[in-house]
Amino acid sequence: MLFRELADTYERLEATSSRLEMTEILAEAFRRFDPSEIRMATYLTQGQLYPDFNPIKLGMADKMILKAIAFASGAGEAFVQELMLKEGDPGLVAQIAFQNRKQTTLFPEPLTLTRAYRTLETIARSEGGGSQDMKIKLMSKLLSDASSSEAKFLSRVITGRMRLGVSSMTVLDALAVAFAGKEDRGAVERAFNVSSDLGLVAEMMALHGLEGVSSIHVQVNRPLRAMLAERMSSPEEILEKMGGTCAFEYKYDGVRLQAHICEGEVRLFSRKLDELTSQFPDVVAGLKRTVRAESAIVEGECVPIDTNTGEFLPFQEVSHRRGRKHGVQEAMEDYPVKLCLFDCILKDGEDLTDRPFLQRREALMSIVEPDDSVTLSEIRVLSSADEAQSFFQEAIEDGCEGLMAKSLADTSVYRAGNRGFLWIKYKKEYRSEMNDTVDLAVVGAFAGRGKRKGFYGALLMATYDVATDTFQTVSKLGSGFDDANLAALLEMLSGDRVPERHHLVDSKMEADFWFQPRLVLEVRGAEITLSPIHTCSFGSVRPDSGLAIRFPRFTGRFRDDKEGREATTSQELLAMYQAQLKRVE
Ligand code: AMP
């Protein structure tokens, strides 16, 4: 097939913004194209060479394509560069330069789709010394056999600027129209959702029609599109929607990971299907240790943790682990993570997407032996809104975002790539952002672990309650201390040690060490939340909750100008909470 046929289709697609028209143009083209080449055509339509999850991407630098255009068209570099300044699009530059081309090839080689695709592939894959010159040469050669329209699209695709406006959903529409019927659109989309590979779906449809796509299943090392959740704002509403009973799980706040395990090898993919394997060697090792299966696809949330407090950290911390090529080892030590698994999509080669939720959970339990680094999500099957609400409070207290409710119906299959009410998220309703720092009294401490062995790992911090003359706990503080601070704290607190909880301290939490409340530290938190475990202003907002400071961090400032009773009061914290309360819809 000639590349011209594809370029003509692109010209027509470019001329419309109507999804319906695009579908018609594409469907007509798909019927005409050679089935064995439809896969390449489909990727190129999306401005790609491969499916999304393939790390090899197109993206030649502008200055390189301009050189190739100048050379192949004979237009001269200065002219081409000036044109680029004016047009800002190498595609248009190529089109104009080739309309006025001064140079033609005497014996042009036919520009077939296969030839164009293979050349683009070679360019995308070549790297290292001398590769720049080689890329320019290859592109010039291709362009010298191209018409101005072909040159336009080749220049766009190679620079990652295809943008025809044809979404993957439109391609699926067109495939259904071209090779089956509109009513079969669902089956075509399912094949895409479980394979994430539009080219594969197009090829199977063109070669074998509906039967072809129904043979596409979940497969190890080919990520599937993630199942998504709807949102609701109360447990009552959720339980009603779920038919009275459902599973509630902690909604962890981190990075979603889809782990593919096959014969001892582990690969990790993000929600957007990018491969993250090399960025999380600790998670890879954790999965190798804990998952017992020949092959499996499991899904979970990777959450940053403070190894000293055992608490989750703000999800931003995990972003230090993303997109790294160097320093992976250091990042791994500085930003440890834990993987909380919540689904099993494939087990020992068997596709479980059509199984109801509890069966998939059982499969997950049957292959995972949890440890410190890989665990299963906290889960409870509940029918009472009150119980769901207290589970929600526990989740918030444990540093989670809220709960995920999951349907237990027979129809609760894993719907790849779909957002629906089989999963419903229930996020923090009571949340108050902190703009100000607070001064908190140290009332207890926990023994350090790992790097903090021999020091305090975390401190139990409290506000001062004026009404009862007590110190009420608000958080466990483990962040923001450097080595010097840790050593200083041992020293500073040594005189304050008491054998058991000080009588002025009101705490539901058991600390390893207790202090008389004297030392005051300046702390910055991310937000104030409700907590059943902390005693600050207990019962003031909800009968069964106090206030907690989430994600506390020592600012580095010891408030030695203050004594214990001058710490921020519980009344002040309550006022801050109320002043900044945000209702998340
Ligand atoms: P959102 O990003 O707010 O739409 O919420 C959906 C995300 O919550 C998912 O993509 C997961 O990354 C994350 N998540 C955290 N915990 C769970 C869980 N137990 N089950 C499913 N998804 C979860």
Q: Calculate how far, in angstroms, residue 252's C-alpha sits from the geometric centre of ligand 1.
A: 7
Q: What is the pLDDT of residues 225-274, one digit of tens each?
A: 999 998 887 899 999 999 999 999 999 988 999 999 999 999 999 988 98
Which residue spans within 73-227 are E strands per DSSP? Answer: none
- In degrees and rounded to multiples of 5, residue 332 shows phi and psi of -65, -40
Work out which ligand 1 atom sits closest to the CA atom of 427: 3
Q: Which residue's alpha carbon is nearest to atom 8 within ligand 1?
A: 251
Active site residues: 251
404 lines ligand 1 (CB under 6 A): yes
pLDDT over 70 at 432, yes or no: no
Q: Calculate how far, in angstroms, residue 296's C-alpha sits from the geometric centre of ligand 1.
A: 20
Q: Which residue's alpha carbon is nearest to atom 4 within ligand 1?
A: 229
pTM: predicted TM-score of the whole model, two decimal places: 0.77
Q: Calculate how far, in angstroms, residue 410's C-alpha sits from the geometric centre of ligand 1.
A: 22
Q: Which of 342, 421, 427 to mutate for ligand 1's pocket (most ligand atoms within 8 Å of CB)?
A: 342
- pLDDT of the residue at 106: 67
Q: Which residue has the higher pLDDT, 101 or 379?
A: 379
Q: Which residues contact 494 (CB under 8 A, 6 or more apart)?
A: none
301 lines ligand 1 (CB under 6 A): yes
CA-wise closest residue to 178 among 16, 29, 41: 29
Q: What is the pLDDT of residues 160-179, one digit of tens each?
A: 999 898 989 999 999 999 99
338 lines ligand 1 (CB under 6 A): no
Q: Calculate how far, in angstroms, residue 344's C-alpha sits from the geometric centre of ligand 1.
A: 15
377 lines ligand 1 (CB under 6 A): yes
Work out which ligand 1 atom sits closest to the CA atom of 255: 12
Q: Which residue's alpha carbon is nearest to atom 17 within ligand 1?
A: 251
- pLDDT of the residue at 321: 80
Q: Give the Cβ contact number of residue 64 at 10 Å.
A: 18
Q: How many residues does the chain have?
A: 585
Q: Calculate how far, in angstroms, residue 306's C-alpha sits from the geometric centre of ligand 1.
A: 21
Give the Cα separation of 418 and 230 in Å (integer). Answer: 10
380 lines ligand 1 (CB under 6 A): no
Q: Which residues contact 456 (CB under 8 A, 6 or more apart)?
A: 445, 446, 447, 448, 486, 489, 490, 493, 513
231 lines ligand 1 (CB under 6 A): no
363 lines ligand 1 (CB under 6 A): no
343 lines ligand 1 (CB under 6 A): no
Give the Cα separation of 118 and 405 in Å (integer). Answer: 47
- pLDDT of the residue at 584: 41
pLDDT over 90 at 129, yes or no: no
249 lines ligand 1 (CB under 6 A): yes
CA-wise closest residue to 99 among 85, 87, 115: 87
Q: Which of 225, 252, 268, 357 to mutate for ligand 1's pocket (most ligand atoms within 8 Å of CB)?
A: 252
Give the Cα separation of 171 and 306 in Å (integer). Answer: 45
Confidence of residue 350 (pLDDT cuts 50, 70, 90): very high
Q: Which of 272, 425, 428, 431 to mutate for ligand 1's pocket (most ligand atoms within 8 Å of CB)?
A: 425
Residue type, 530: L
Work out which ligand 1 atom sits closest to the CA atom of 249: 19
Give the Cα separation of 483 and 159 in Å (integer). Answer: 48
Q: What is the pLDDT of residues 361-415, one digit of tens each?
A: 999 999 999 998 999 999 999 999 999 999 998 898 788 889 999 999 999 999 9
pLDDT over 70 at 513, yes or no: yes
Confidence of residue 582 (pLDDT cuts 50, 70, 90): low
- Report the DSSP beta bridge partners of residue 506: 472
- Nearest 5°: the CA angle 248, 250, 252 is 145
In percent, the amount of the chain with pLDDT more than 90 equals 77
CA-wise closest residue to 197 among 273, 250, 93, 84: 273
pLDDT over 50 at 583, yes or no: no
